[in-house]
A and B are shown apart, each in its own frame.
Chain A
Amino acid sequence: MQRGKAAGRLQGRTSATIGDNMKAPEFAYDRPETLAAALAALSAAGPDARLLAGGQSLMPMLNFRVVEPTVLIDINRVPGLDTIEEAGDLIRIGALVRHVAMERSELVATHLPMVHKVMPHIAHAAIRSRGTIGGSLALADPSAELPACMIALEATIVAHSQNGERRIAADDFFIGVYETVLASDEMIVAVEIPKQTARGHAFREIARRHGDYAMVGLAMTTATGVSLDNARIVFFGVAGRPVRAKAAEAAIVGLVAGTEAGECAAAALDGTLEPHGDLNAPPAMKLHLAKVLLKRAIAELQERVS
């Protein structure tokens, strides 16, 4: 189904299951110069190949020898995948757009303010120089910010294979830890995100230190800044993939941003959001933090309006 499954998350894994190594193993290296060549290489190589885009997550895995691919397919030379464009009501972001380009993009700042706000939370500047949106979404780290944001923003992930194009709603894209619906011969070429002109948004995360993976994070959009209808409440860092808190979304329909709505939404998480625990927080604490974030996000929406 997808390649990342073999890679275990470093956090929380016992040392016995990670090798003693910090130098990458041997692998073959291919650097296709066109999309067609990349797709052909991917198809030919089979499930033991890995795509190398930004490398900011793949390289540590290689260094730890948590993954030992037979071939790395470096797609950084594939043209046409590194632009941010306006396309009608959408912003189309190529898969190889670096985080730093998104951070500095006027289009993103104007039309996707949540993304603009999120970017400084993603690791640190040197990571953002290389990391790509395509890589981040394909990796599907459950504590990463962008997958949750894409769901909150109703993004569409555009994937290509030799069989053609597949357009996948972000809602349907993420399956589990390092697991997406991408087939082993498919690669992301772009992400299309509706312009957020009308919608309200809030983003919050709790991390032990600036730039760390979130203990719990929340990406939220609403119909408008005032109305909480059509809300998309997406938590990350709580499960194997980002979680839509649909019960909470339903609980605030018809409400405006304010303390009461916050309490309603938070209460709706009981019994519906069932977080996993990790080294930083047991499940009950993550649920508690999720409620706190949700209340604060809704308060933030209220504040922005007034």
Chain B
Amino acid sequence: MSGPLSVFDRPNSYIGRTVPRPNARRLTEGRGRFVDDLSLPRMVHAAFLRSPHAHARIMGIDTGAAKASAGVVAIYSGADLVQHIEPWVGVLTHLKGLRSPPQPAIAVDVARWQGEAVALVLAASRAEAEDAAALIEVDYEPLPIAIDMERALDLDEPVVHADFDSNLAWERLVEQGDVDAALSDPDATIVERTFTFGRHTGVTLEPRCLLAAFDPSERRLTVHYSGQAPHMMQYIYAKHLGLPEDHVRVVADDVGGSFGIKVHTYGDEVAAVAAAMLHGRPVKYVADRFESFQSDIHARGHRVTARMAVSAQGKITGFDMDDLTGIGPYSVYPRTSAIEANQVLNLTCAPYQLPAYRARGRVVFQNKTVMCQYRAVGHPIAIAVAEGMIDAAAVASGRDPVELRRLNLIPDDAYPCASATGMRFNELSHHACLDKLVELIDYDGLRAEQERLRAAGVFRGIGISSFVEVTNPSPMFYGVGGAPIASQDGATVRLDASGAVHISSSVTEQGQGTEAILAQIVATAVGVPLERVRVTTGDTETTPYGGGTWGSRGAGIGGEAALLAGQALRAQVLEAAAVILQAKVESLDIADGKVVDSYTDRERVTLADLARQIYYRGNELPSSLKPELVATRHFRVTDYPFVFTNGCQASWLEVDIETGEVKLLKHWAVEDCGRVINPKLVDEQMRGGVVQGIGGALFEHCIYDDQGQMLNPTMADYLVPMAAEMPDIEIVHVETPTSTSVLGAKGAGEAGTGGAPAAIMNAVNDALRPLDAQVTAQPITPQRILEALKAF
């Protein structure tokens, strides 16, 4: 390696710079390439008939009239498809005791949630497919339903799966230290609360969709995919449709939002792909909004009861909690529906010094839409519980909430260390972040203003949340349990004859800026202008094998692979240049697309000229020189199971105590996500994440009636955050690069969503405190606030 400076100190380094995303411009011109924009010859469209019952036996399906409907090409029932699609089981070995029965792609004998697909119609247009679906007659025998998670384990509650002895899918107990002793200490302040979190969902603006094409002459399947993990889907389609993996190509181009929703295996999607194979014509399936609400994974339906003891000195001495979550009738494949609860157990109180901790988690089956990982998986609950308890303890013990946190957050010089649940931390900066936050928001100034306004009958609140966030996961997250999920990723970096550099990476883009930061990293590592770098992602045929984007791993893992590959390419170029220029390798550098003399910056040869000579005029090279101008490197995190980030957030809001409305005045975040590659992109991830968290805190809820019917499966009734109600969000950073990689970047995609609900809930309760009202149920609706105030 040549050059006296580290890659980060080099002149013209793009790392740490806000540069516009190269792929943003075309999206402002209407040149997106989303799945539904594609068309293939003889393409047909899929629509599904879905169960209107939460639980029902399918006695018979009569497709006679439907088959005769105009434009219909084929109709498949669950029984038709199960012969061609191997059912799957959503368990992983490292989640001991997790059970789930085999799940067919679409329901065969029994429909187990309202919205589960029971038949697939292929027709010349989606409208005609829907016309035909309406003519299918299904004879249902309704069965008893289990839809209240609190009753799921009662002896007289209907059991969702006849083969199981109960509705328990998984349970885990974490215990460290003597919690009972801490909670029975007469000198301690004990607080107890019950928190509930409403089940909600991702609502990606582009719904789930795919276009599958099968060539029977070669038995080759191509799936145009809107999602995060193309290699994982390659494995899944191959395994469950009976194809060799190398006969399956999955291609993700533009994806209109994912947030974890599109990283799971959906039966309707696999069924549509199977239909393409069976019928021999390309099949396009685009979920409409109504079926998206009923069949996209839901998340975050929890009830947590917690108790905490704080000593007279203000130290947390013990924490005890019981977490119950209701999933759907199946644990979703392959990531399982137990991970969210596992995160809640692992991460509650994680930022704090805690001598005694006990947490029990139970995951129960229900006849509701299936549930699985959605942005910030488990963190919104873990953080809201811990931070809500801290605020409650602060009030109960007469301390300022910031002060109580300062007394208990793990000191910034205590690393490496481990949490009570065995989470290993290194290089975190809780205190530095909290100090910065307090200064940023002018905490004392806000308290003064709060007091002044209270006297005038205006109720404002400040809410703080301090937290860790899981990023850059190692194989310990999924692979170790048997999941076909890669947690290593690769990048191939190539110098072309034109002097342009091409990156092919196994992490993927859904708009967060993956391709932009890969380009920035490689442009810096190699020494070329950003405009000369092209990036390819999302295609299993042409990219290295990897895990895709999830768990905030794109920058930290994909970026590291790109950095290493870029550095390797640089070395290759300089090695060849040294021979050709008859100079010492150490005396050469690459800057701005040219090989230069590293001491004088004098240009020796452009990369284009060098590359052309190597590619076209090999006769001019000594025969001993065998230049390669392409390098592939892979990276996985080895030192730690996860690379945690830390941060804190504050919410400043006003509660109208007569109407229950909450006005969000301002939101702040201080985030330490290690080395920041593109500040603007990180900040925008934070902002989008915060707003998504606000959605769960104040607005979003999948509401069910007692028959297991979702009552609000439309954009008019399921409330997502819109612009008028959202605050401006100010963000600053602390940067503690992780030593687990050269790049030092951690993830930033989820912290906004994880930390925001806690800050919002704490702010509401801070506003209501003089009125002896508290809300611990999310979403915090006007109704819940008025009920807490006993206003009606």
Instruction: Say whether B335 faces chain A, with CB atoms less than 8 Å apart.
Output: no
B126 vs chain A, min Cβ distance (A): 6
Residues of A within 8 A of B717 (CB): 10-12, 279
Interface-forming stretch among A22-30, A178-186, A251-259? A22-30
Q: List which B129-186 residues lie within 8 A (CB) of chain A.
A: 130-131, 133-134
The stretch of B45-53, B348-356, B529-537, B738-746 in contact with A is: B45-53
Report yes or no: B714 in contact with A10, Cβ–Cβ below 8 A. Answer: yes
Binds B, one of A78-86, A149-157, A206-214, A223-231: A206-214
A13-28 at interface with B (beta carbon < 8 Å) = 13-16, 18-26
A11-B716, A15-B115, A15-B294 given as contacts; is B792 within 8 A of A21 (CB)? no
Among residues of A, the one whose C-beta sits closest to the C-beta of B128 is A23
Q: Which of B28-67 contact A (CB under 8 A)?
A: 47-50, 52-53
Instruction: Assess whether B289 is in contact with A22, with CB atoms less than 8 Å apart.
Output: yes
**Shortest distance from the beta carbon of A19 to any chain B beta carbon, whole Å:** 6
A292 close to chain B: CB less than 8 A: yes
Size class of the A contact interface (CB-based, 8 Å): 35 or more
The smallest beta-carbon distance between A258 and chain B, in angstroms, is 18
- Asked, given contacts A10-B716, A20-B49, whether A206 binds B661 with beta carbons under 8 Å apart, the answer is yes
| Contact present for B114 and A287 (CB under 8 Å) | no
Chain B residues, Cβ within 8 Å of A26: 131
Q: Shortest distance in angstroms between A193's beta carbon and chain B's nearest beta carbon?
A: 29
* A22-B288 CB under 8 A given contacts A210-B724, A279-B712, A280-B781: yes
- Check if A288 is an interface residue, CB within 8 A of chain B: yes
Contact: B134 with A288, CB < 8 Å?
A: no
A59 vs chain B, min Cβ distance (A): 13
In Å, the complex CA distance between A13 and B709 comes to: 10
Number of interface residues of B (CB under 8 A): 45
Residue-by-residue, is A193-212 near B (CB-CB < 8 Å gives 1, otherwise 0)?
00000000000001011111
Given A20-B49, A22-B288, A12 contacting B711 (CB threshold 8 A)? yes
Q: A15 contacts B114, CB within 8 Å?
A: yes
The reply on A118 being an interface residue by CB < 8 A is: no
Contact A20 B724 (CB under 8 A): no
Residue of A21, A210, A292 contacting most chain B CB atoms (<10 Å): A21
Contact call B659/A292, Cβ cutoff below 8 A = yes
| B403 located at the interface, meaning its Cβ lies under 8 Å from any Cβ of chain A in the complex | no
In the complex with contacts A10-B716, A210-B724, A287-B792, A15-B134 CB distance below 8 A: no
- A16 to B710 alpha-carbon distance, docked (Å): 9
Residue of A nearest to B710 (CB): A15
Q: Is A281 interfacial (CB 8 A cutoff)?
A: yes
CB atoms of A209 and B725 under 8 A apart: yes
Cβ < 8 Å to A, chain B residues 705-764: 705, 707, 709-714, 716-717, 719, 722, 724-725
Question: How far is the CB of B458 from the nearest CB of chain A, in Å?
Answer: 15
Report B372 CB to chain A, min CB distance, Å: 21
Contacts of A64 in B (CB 8 A): 290, 714
Which residues of chain B have C-beta atoms less than 8 A from A215's C-beta?
782
Nearest A-chain residue to B726, judged by Cβ: A209
Least Cβ distance of A128 to chain B in Å?
16
List chain A residues, Cβ under 8 A from B125. Answer: 23
With A20-B50, A292-B658 as known contacts, state yes or no: A285 contacts B792, CB within 8 Å.
yes
How far does the alpha carbon of A208 sit from the alpha carbon of B712 in the complex, in Å? 14
A23 and B719 within 8 A (CB):
no
Asked if B792 and A15 make an inter-chain contact with CB atoms under 8 angstroms apart, the answer reads: no
CB distance from A124 to the nearest CB of B (A): 9
Whether the pair A15, B711 counts as a contact (CB closer than 8 A) is: yes
Per-residue interface assignment for chain B, residues 688 to 710, with 1 indicating a CB less than 8 Å from any chain A CB and 0 otherwise: 00000000000100010101011
Q: Which A residues between 269 and 306 are near B, CB-CB below 8 angstroms?
A: 279-282, 284-285, 287-289, 292
| CB-nearest residue of chain B to A11 | B717
Contacts of A18 in B (CB 8 A): 290
CB-CB under 8 A from A15, the residues of chain B are: 52, 114-115, 290, 294, 709-711, 713
B698's nearest neighbour on chain A, judged by CB, is A208
For A285, give the chain B residue with the smallest CB separation: B792
User: Would you give the 0/1 interface string for B318-341, flagging 1 where the beta carbon is closer than 8 Å to chain A?
Assistant: 000000000000000000000000
Q: Are B290 and A20 in contact (CB under 8 A)?
A: yes
Q: State in angstroms the CA–CA spacing of A12 and B289 once bound together.
A: 17
User: Is A282 within 8 A of B710, CB to CB?
Assistant: no
Residues of B within 8 A of A212 (CB): 716, 719
Given known A12-B711, A20-B50, contact A209–B719 (CB-CB < 8 A): yes
A285 and B711 contact, CB distance less than 8 A: no
Known: A209-B724, A209-B725. A23 touches B707 (CB 8 A): no
Chain B 540-553, CB within 8 Å of chain A: the 1/0 string? Answer: 00000000000000
Alpha-carbon distance between A212 and B49 when the two chains are bound, in angstroms: 30
Given B53, B131, B703, B713, which contacts A25 in the complex, CB threshold below 8 Å? B131
How far is A13 from B291 in the complex, measured between Cα atoms in Å?
15
| B791 interface contact, C-beta 8 A | yes
Q: Is the CB of A209 within 8 A of B290?
A: no
Are A288 and B791 in contact, CB atoms less than 8 angstroms apart?
A: yes
Asked if B74 CB lies within 8 Å of chain A CBs, one says no
B783 CB-CB contact with A under 8 Å: yes
With A209-B725, A281-B782, A288-B786 given, is the CB distance from A19 to B134 under 8 Å? yes
Residues from chain B with Cβ under 8 Å of A25 in the complex: 131
CB nearest neighbor in B for A208: B719
Binary A-proximity of B573-611 (CB < 8 A = 1, otherwise 0): 000000000000000000000000000000000000000
Interface residues of B in 108-132 (CB under 8 A from A): 114-115, 125-127, 130-131
Q: Once bound together, how far apart are the Cα atoms of A10 and B288, in whole Å? A: 16
B724: chain A residues within 8 A (beta carbon): 209-211
Closest A residue, CB atoms, query B722: A209
**CB-based nearest A residue for B53:** A16
Q: Which of A16, A206, A208 contacts B52 (CB 8 A)?
A: A16
Q: Which residue of chain B lies nearest to A286 when distances are taken between CB atoms in the complex? A: B792
B712 contacts across to A, CB distance below 8 A: 11, 279
> In the bound complex, how far is the Cα of B700 from the Cα of A279, in angstroms?
12
| Contact assessment for A16 and B709 in the assembled complex, using a CB-CB cutoff below 8 Å | yes
Task: For the complex, give the distance between the alpha carbons of A61 and B711 in Å.
Answer: 17
Q: Determine if A20 and B48 form an interchain contact, defined as CB atoms under 8 angstroms apart.
A: yes
In the complex, chain B residues 639-687 whose Cβ is within 8 Å of any chain A Cβ: 658-659, 661
Cα distance, A171 to B313, chains bound together (Å): 68
**What residues of A have a CB within 8 angstroms of the CB of B49 in the complex?**
20
Convert A56-100 into 0s and 1s, putting 1 for each residue whose CB lies closer than 8 angstroms to a CB of B: 000000001100000000000000000000000000000000000
Tell me the chain B residues, 265-291 only, with Cβ under 8 Å from chain A.
288-291
Instruction: Say whether A23 contacts B291, CB under 8 Å.
Output: no
A210 / chain B contacts, CB cutoff of 8 Å: 722, 724-725
Q: Complex: how many Å from CA A20 to CA B716?
A: 16
| A-chain residues with CB within 8 Å of residue B133 when the two chains form the complex | 20-21
Would you give the 0/1 interface string for A35-64, flagging 1 where the beta carbon is closer than 8 Å to chain B? Answer: 000000000000000000000000000001
- Bound: A208/B781 CA distance, A: 9
Complex interface: chain B residues within 8 A of A280 (CB): 781-783
Measured CB to CB, the nearest residue on chain A to B714 is A10
Which residue on B lies nearest to A288, using beta carbons?
A: B792
Write the nearest CB–CB distance from A121 to chain B, whole angstroms.
Answer: 11
Query: What's the nearest-Cβ distance from chain B to residue A5, in Å?
Result: 20
CA distance A18 to B52 in the complex (A): 9
A281, B699: Cα distance in complex, Å = 14
Q: How many whole Å from B48's CB to the nearest CB in chain A?
A: 7
CB proximity of A24 to chain B, nearest CB, Å: 7
CA distance A22 to B658 in the complex (A): 39
Provide 6 A-B residue pairs closer than 8 Å at the C-beta atoms, listed in order of the A residue.
A14-B711, A15-B294, A208-B782, A209-B699, A279-B712, A285-B792
- Not counting A16-B709, A280-B783, a sample of 17 additional A-B residue pairs whose C-beta atoms are within 8 angstroms of each other reads A10-B714, A12-B717, A16-B114, A20-B50, A20-B130, A20-B291, A22-B289, A22-B290, A23-B127, A25-B131, A65-B130, A209-B722, A279-B711, A279-B712, A280-B782, A282-B783, A288-B791
Q: Which residues of A contact B (CB under 8 A)?
A: 10-16, 18-26, 64-65, 206, 208-213, 215, 279-282, 284-285, 287-289, 292
Q: Which 9 pairs between the two chains have the least Cβ-Cβ distance?
A: A23-B127, A22-B288, A210-B724, A288-B792, A16-B52, A14-B709, A21-B130, A284-B792, A292-B658
